[in-house]
């Protein structure tokens, strides 16, 4: 994708698709309990893969690059009594660890075997009734492992108690899962490090059809926040609620505090307007702990580099286990746009800015967020985004929407 050096059109409106995080959770719950009517479902590849897998009767289920599907489906298939499934994915998926989730499910009585490398997909899952109702799992792992267990908890005869051992990572994603489940009629509680999911026995009285309109995706909104921050023009986004289930809605606070982009919510029309303050005094340095919202880190780093604001971002330990090692990928590609960085196991910080060379070409590493987070830099310099098709994983219409607001 060749992006010429552009300017941002003022006051354009973009309709972003439904959140894939919410969509994928609802699809699992609907398959387990069967009483949800879901509207504005995400059109992402990840959600399509999840739908296809849930509807399949095949013995082998290939989820390609979809990490959420791998984690949620591992628990889902573990409780499908009498059904045997091989759950596999792309070569990168086979390098992404899943042992903490498998260990927890085995502790509950699940029958799961590794077919290639210990601790990694592909998995052979023999569905069975899980008799136990309590499990302990590390709290500092991917929230999707824990959400995967929560989603099946209401289907277990005695519910499920999940003890989170240690410091909790990505708390907002866990809170989102619990809220979605409560909205779907599945009672739960969270006190301290103990999450309780209560058994949910569907009767004629409580199995009435419930309608869900999936709100748009806040992580997808981040790229337009970056455009507004760099281009200093207003952008309107639909369909967003003032009070969101999604932890990534912290974006509003981050972009106001760091880049002077205010968010005005219009509740009646379910839209938000991004309004840059033209008199904003940029901070001398951005220091953020993004433990609760690591998926926003790439966009924040690119925005800060475009505006030449030094940054230090911590709490990023999970980024090394994503579609690629995002910390290393960020370091490599930020250099191309004029930022020298240092990285550790859980942080990235700028050390020097310089004028980038001509002919910038951004490698995407099969990672949708690398493509979309670097795209707003076209407001500063012409650039090429390699393998631009990776955006289909979460936001297939991204390039169309981007071109709509660029001059």
**pLDDT (0 to 100) of residue 328:** 93
CA torsion sign, 85 to 89 to 91 to 97? negative
DSSP for 263-320 reads EEEEGGGTEEEEEE-TT----S-EEEE-TT-GGGHHHHHHHHHHTT--EEEE--GGGG
109: phi then psi, degrees, rounded to nearest 5: 110, 5
The fourth-level CATH superfamily of domain 20-201+209-213 is Enolpyruvate transferase domain (3.65.10.10)
* 87 bridge partner residues: 61, 123
The residues pairing with 406 across neighbouring beta strands, listed in sequence order, are 8
With a CB cutoff of 8 Å and minimum separation 6, the contacts of 273 are 234, 235, 236, 237, 263, 264, 266
What is the CB-side half-sphere exposure of residue 83 using CA atoms within 13 A? Answer: 19
Tell me: the pLDDT tens digits for 340-379?
999 999 999 999 999 998 899 999 998 999 999 999 999 9
pLDDT digits (tens, 9 = 90+) for 380-398: 999 999 999 999 989 999 9
Ranges of residues in the chain with a pLDDT under 50 are 204
Q: What are phi and psi of 267, to 5 degrees?
A: -60, -40
- What CATH number is given for 2-9+244-258+278-405 in this structure? 3.65.10.10
Write down the pLDDT at residue 7.
Answer: 97
Interatomic CA distance for residues 403 and 68, integer angstroms: 29
Return residue ranges of the chain for CATH 3.65.10.10. 2-9+244-258+278-405, 20-201+209-213
The confidence score (pLDDT) of residue 333 equals: 97
This prediction's pTM: 0.83
Q: Cβ distance 154 to 199 under 8 Å?
A: yes
The whole-number pLDDT of residue 321 equals 66
Q: Which of 295, 325, 366, 401 is catalytic?
A: 295
Task: Specify the pLDDT at position 167.
Answer: 86
How far is C-alpha 139 from the chain's CA centre?
A: 18
Burial of 365 per CB tally in 10 Å (0-12, 13-18, 19+): buried
Catalytic residue at 43?
no
Of 214, 161, 217, 149, nearest to 184 by C-alpha is: 214
């Amino acid at each position: 994708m060749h992006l010429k050096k552009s300017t941002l059109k003022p006051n354009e409106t973009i309709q972003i698709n439904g959140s894939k995080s919410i969509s994928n959770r609802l699809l699992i719950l609907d398959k387990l309990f069967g009483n949800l009517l879901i509207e504005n479902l995400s059109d992402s590849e990840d959600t399509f893969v999840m739908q296809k897998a849930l509807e399949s009767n095949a013995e082998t289920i290939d989820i390609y690059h979809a990490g959420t599907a791998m984690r949620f489906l591992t628990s889902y298939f573990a409780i499908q009594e009498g059904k045997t499934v091989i759950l596999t994915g792309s070569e990168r998926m086979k390098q992404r660890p899943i042992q903490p989730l498998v260990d927890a499910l085995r502790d509950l009585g699940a029958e799961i075997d590794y077919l290639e490398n210990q601790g990694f997909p592909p998995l052979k899952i023999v569905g069975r009734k899980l008799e136990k109702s309590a499990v302990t799992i590390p709290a500092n792992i991917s929230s999707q492992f824990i959400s995967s267990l929560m989603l099946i908890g209401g289907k277990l005869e005695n519910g499920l108690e999940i003890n989170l051992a240690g410091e909790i990572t990505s708390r907002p994603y866990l809170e989102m899962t619990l809220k979605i489940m409560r909205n779907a009629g599945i009672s739960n509680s969270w006190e301290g490090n103990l999450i309780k999911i209560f058994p949910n026995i569907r009767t004629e009285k409580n199995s009435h059809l419930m309608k869900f309109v999936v709100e748009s995706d806040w992580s997808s909104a981040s790229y337009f926040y970056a455009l507004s921050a760099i281009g200093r023009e207003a952008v309107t986004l639909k369909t967003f609620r003032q009070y969101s289930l999604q932890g990534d809605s912290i974006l509003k606070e981050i972009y106001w505090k760091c880049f002077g982009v205010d968010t005005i919510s219009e509740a009646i029309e379910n839209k938000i307007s991004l309004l840059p303050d033209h008199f904003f005094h940029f901070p001398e340095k951005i220091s953020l702990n993004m433990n609760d919202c690591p998926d926003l880190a790439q966009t924040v780093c690119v925005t800060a580099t475009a505006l030449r604001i030094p940054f230090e971002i911590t709490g990023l330990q999970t980024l090394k286990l994503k579609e690629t090692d995002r910390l290393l990928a960020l370091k490599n590609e930020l250099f191309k746009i004029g930022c020298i960085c240092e990285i550790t196991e859980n942080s990235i910080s700028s050390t020097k800015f310089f004028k980038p060379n001509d002919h910038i070409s951004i490698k995407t590493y099969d990672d949708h967020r690398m493509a979309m987070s670097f795209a707003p830099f076209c407001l500063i310099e012409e650039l090429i985004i390699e393998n631009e098709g990776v955006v289909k994983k979460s936001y297939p219409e991204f390039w169309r929407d981007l071109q709509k607001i660029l001059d």
